[in-house]
Amino acid sequence: MATASAPLQLATASRPLSVGVGGGGGGGLHVGGARGGGAPPARRQRGLAVRSVASDRGVQGSVSPEEEISSVLNSIDSSTIASNIKHHAEFTPVFSPEHFSPLKAYHATAKSVLDTLIMNWNATYDYYDRTNVKQAYYLSMEFLQGRALTNAVGNLELTGQYAEALKQLGHSLEDVATQEPDAALGNGGLGRLASCFLDSLATLNYPAWGYGLRYKHGLFKQIITKDGQEEVAENWLEMGNPWEIVRSDVSYPVKFYGKVVEGTDGRMHWIGGENIKVVAHDVPIPGYRTKTTNNLRLWSTTVPSQDFDLEAFNAGDHASAYEAHLNAEKICHVLYPGDESPEGKVLRLKQQYTLCSASLQDIIARFERRAGDSLSWEDFPSKVAVQMNDTHPTLCIPELMRILIDVKGLSWNEAWSITERTVAYTNHTVLPEALEKWSLDIMQKLLPRHVEIIEKIDGELMNIIISKYGTADTSLLKKKIKEMRILDNIDLPDSIAKLFVKPKEKKESPAKLKDKLLVKSLEPSAVVEEKTVSRVEINKDSEEVEVDSEEVVEAENEDSEDELDPFVKSDPKLPRVVRMANLCVVGGHSVNGVAEIHSEIVKEDVFNSFYEMWPAKFQNKTNGVTPRRWIRFCNPELSTIISKWIGSDDWVLNTDKLAELKKFADDEDLQSEWRAAKKANKMKVVSLIREKTGYIVSPDAMFDVQVKRIHEYKRQLLNILGIVYRYKKMKEMSAKDRIKSFVPRVCIFGGKAFATYIQAKRIVKFITDVAATVNHDPEIGDLLKVVFVPDYNVSVAEALIPASELSQHISTAGMEASGTSNMKFAMNGCILIGTLDGANVEIREEVGDENFFLFGAEAHEIAGLRKERAQGKFVPDPRFEEVKRYVRSGVFGTYNYDDLMGSLEGNEGYGRADYFLVGKDFPSYIECQEKVDKAYRDQKLWTRMSILNTASSSKFNSDRTIHEYAKDIWDIKPVILP
């Protein structure tokens, strides 16, 4: 891969550091002069800078760009870096000068690295501006970055130099790096994937930016107590973030509420309401062995200072004076604020719209600036690709339409054509609750203009459906409209409603009705019902019947009109909603799933009607993870072995080369080195577990790991019930039989349960209760330990994954879109136990059936199994009933687990009937675990399996995924900086 070279040199007063990335309506922010204010000249010459040596390439001969960069960077003297770090410690006044603490050393080191990144950063975007290349913009509510320091120095290939420099200053790079808190900008796989993609985009030299929100507190910090999970505010920004540059000059207005009026210019104007201001915070994303440094732009929210009500403040009404600021700032306080309350729902919708509006305004400003005098909106899709990471950024579609129509003056058809060709959607779930549905009433109040636009898109969609399916088969048409509409439980427009009529039975004319009633009234035995009396009066004198005139009118109307199908009207008992996923499919030019099985489910089930209409829109893009962070940097022991046996470290950029390990899989020397690397990583986790939980575990036991968001479909409950069954069987045996029957295991869990997800929090409580009992049982000792690692994040994953030997990916088949942790585990030589779900299917295909522990029902069986359960035909395995009784016996404490166990029982009902099929898969699961024990006893076999997992993991490199997105969806090309 051709890359630009980027040597380092000392910055002097005549070579000022350049800070910032061009954005918004202006160019890059370039700050003249060196840091240090009035410092003497010697102090002002300490910044590390980067220059291009592209002009030297003509005399470099056959030296590759990668080798050139590596050679130059590795020649940088560690003493120069140490001097630069000292400069920042002294002249970047974040901390008091008394002593050079590890935390101060971290900030100074980060600023030193940032000096290097800034030069590449500016050069990257100056070049993109000059060449006006097509650029991709990745919009995501989550970016789970992990620590930036080790990643940045690793990508710059300066790890050794920085380690030596810090050693000269009395610190170790490892200790300094641990001072960095994980950026609390995500929760799970969605954010981790987005961050892997940014790494690959920069490494592969693709012009791309990420856009997100700068959450002050992230999701939450998880604390594990005797009561289970507790949540406290995340404090990652408390000591500042040295990696970000606040771009006070890049800000945009964002509006909520108000009303829509038509102006004299014929355009719709959104006026009044609540106005906030977004401000950009830029974070550099360096590529590996390349000068390309892309940008992650995060938005914070505030209001202009004039919105502070000084008069109210001076009058003593301090809360009112600051109300506008608080309303604005709380938008970026917390990731996924609880939405049980109406206020929570409004806040979440504000978050999503803020991301979309701010990012699109920024993208459009950049497009206009780059186009200059040759601006043509028709060119927009050829210069801009917007990728919506899940449904959270769906409002990009009506927002882009609004800007193009109301602000830029384009027609509806022009704006729709541009929007559809610009925007694409990645679906990450088949879970109905995750396919977002927003209250139309809330959206109407908060975003009135967008609702108008969505209503029109919905109407246009129904016209397309009618044109495709015709009106002859109204049952089919009704089915398609019901499935595909963007607006759900909303009255059909009159023009479409008239297609759905039921002919009424002909009623008798008023004259005939009158004659019949007269005859009836003359019969002695005639009994007039009460309801008839209210409508018919009998004149006893004339013995004639007077028919109510209103009834005559109604009869005439009924006789002349057919009856509308109830389908055309909304049900007042049900909520009126906007189906965001449907809007994504309609408004974008591409819809992709994230694993082969998931993409098939998307086409055959979730969006089947859309697939029938637009099959070319649907694609698969199997997820991937970056091999830089997830092998090279987090597992240096294994990386060294891989490079040694392959003969180079080319695999870091070309993971296909990992396959070369296969020919050495049975080599005893490689196996010995492989086991030693695993043992070294396990020792690190022993220390981590002791530090975070107080438990002492044996590094000689198998490390069995399940780390992911706590959710019923991910089935941590199946795992812990399997452990309980294992524990019970151990207790029933003699010590000698226990040792003979079971391989020692340390069963490690990690992950957060959403604060309002009661059942998930019960599972966390259950795991910790089992741990408290098992880990203090002297009869069991090191034969079984259970550990829940609190506050699981990227940094914890970077320690656990290299040390893991068995990893559990045991979701109910058909419910996990892909997963990415399974890829990281396989890359690091961990063997998976799992169902045929998500990317497990493809991992098993790559590594071989014999190197994957498979159990459980398959995706195509799930619906039938649930139906069987509802019919009362499910017969639970005796071992499953046994383990539930054991839990209820109180052996794990006094907590009442009836609700948790009850969710696995019954044949129907919310929170019952074992929707996720734990009971169905339990026998298969524990039998598969017996196979795991048998395989682990043969360490030669196990090590071979481990090597083959790493050797077969090439497909799951995010570089491959990004190449596919770039070619098939975004139509962007790599750009090599000069």
Catalytic residue positions, numbered = 428, 708-709, 714, 820, 824
Enter the DSSP assignment of 509.
Answer: P
Q: What is the largest CA-CA distance in the chain?
A: 123
Judge whether 352 and 141 are in contact, CB under 8 Å. yes
Q: What are phi and psi of 135, to 5 degrees?
A: -125, 145
E-strand ranges in 172-289 read 208-213, 221-225, 228-232, 245-256, 259-262, 268-271, 274-286
∠ CA 971-975-978 to the nearest 5 degrees?
165
C-alpha closest to that of 241 among 147, 304, 308: 147
> Which token pair is 322?
């600051």
CB atoms inside a 10 Å sphere around CB 10 = 14
Judge whether 257 and 446 are in contact, CB under 8 Å. yes
- For the chain, percent helix, then strand, then coil, each to nearest 5? 50, 15, 35
CB-based burial label for 440 (10 Å; 0-12, 13-18, 19+): buried
Enter the DSSP assignment of 219.
Answer: S
Concatenating the DSSP letter of every residue in 40-77 gives: -GGGGS--EEE---GGGGGGSTT--HHHHHHHHHHTS-
> Residue type for 691, please?
E
- The residues near 971 (Cβ < 8 Å, ≥ 6 apart) are 134, 385
b/e code 121-151 from CB counts within 10 Å (16+ = b):
bbbbbbbbbeebbbbbbbbbbbbbbbbbbbb
Run of H or E including 88: helix 78-91
From CA 319, how far away is CA 332, in angstroms rounded?
20
From CA 879, how far away is CA 865, in angstroms rounded?
19
C-alpha closest to that of 587 among 352, 348, 401: 401
Run of H or E including 502: strand 501-502
Judge whether 458 and 485 are in contact, CB under 8 Å. yes
Specify whether the backbone of 384 is left (phi greater than 0), alpha (psi in -120 to 50) or beta.
beta
b/e code 390-415 from CB counts within 10 Å (16+ = b):
bbbbbbbbbbbbbbbbbebebeeeeb
Judge whether 781 and 823 are in contact, CB under 8 Å. no
Judge whether 630 and 200 are in contact, CB under 8 Å. no
What Å distances lie between residue 14 and 10, 34, 115, 298, 918, CA to CA? 11, 9, 16, 32, 68
Strand pairing report for 293-302 and 208-213: parallel
> Which token pair is 870?
């509802």
C-alpha closest to that of 169 among 236, 123, 102: 102
Judge whether 211 and 359 are in contact, CB under 8 Å. yes
C-alpha closest to that of 627 among 652, 659, 646: 652
CB atoms inside a 10 Å sphere around CB 468 = 11
